[in-house]
Structure 1
C-alpha cells in the first residue's frame, strides 16, 4: 500500500488527504471489510504527519461509517455489504 504524498500547501487539509487515500484503499479492496487499518502511529510514519492529524483522518472515516474502532484494539473497515436496508428479519 503505497501512500501518496501529503501536500501541506494544498487547499485540502492533510487529514482529509489521508482520509481520501484510505477511502481509495477501501474502495479498491486493499483494505477489506473486517480488516484493521494502520494504527495512528503507523499513519504518522507513513504520511509524515502529527498524531492528531492521523486521528482526525480516522475520525472522518468513522463519521462516514466506513470504519469502526474498538478501544485498545484499533480501527477496522466496516462491512457495508449487508447494509441494504432490509435488516436481519
Structure 2
C-alpha cells in the first residue's frame, strides 16, 4: 500500500490527514496482514509527523500576525497562502 502513495513530504496537510485517517481505519479493523500492518503503521507515523510539522509552521505564521489598536492587521511579511 505505501509503495504506491506519494512521498509524505509532497502532501498537503489535508492530503496527509486524509490518508492518516485511512491508515488508522485500516489498522483499527485488524484485518490487514502483519507485514502490511507494519508498513501502514510506519506510513501513519510519517504522516502524523508531517501533519504536526505543518500545524507548527501554520501556528508560527499566525503568531507573527498581530492586530493593531485601530483594528488593522499587521505582521512581519507573513505569507499565509
Per the normalisation by structure 1, the TM-score is 0.34
In the superposition, the TM-score normalised over structure 2's length comes to 0.36
Q: Which has the larger radius of gyration?
A: 2
Relative to total residues, which structure has the larger helix share, 1 or 2? 2
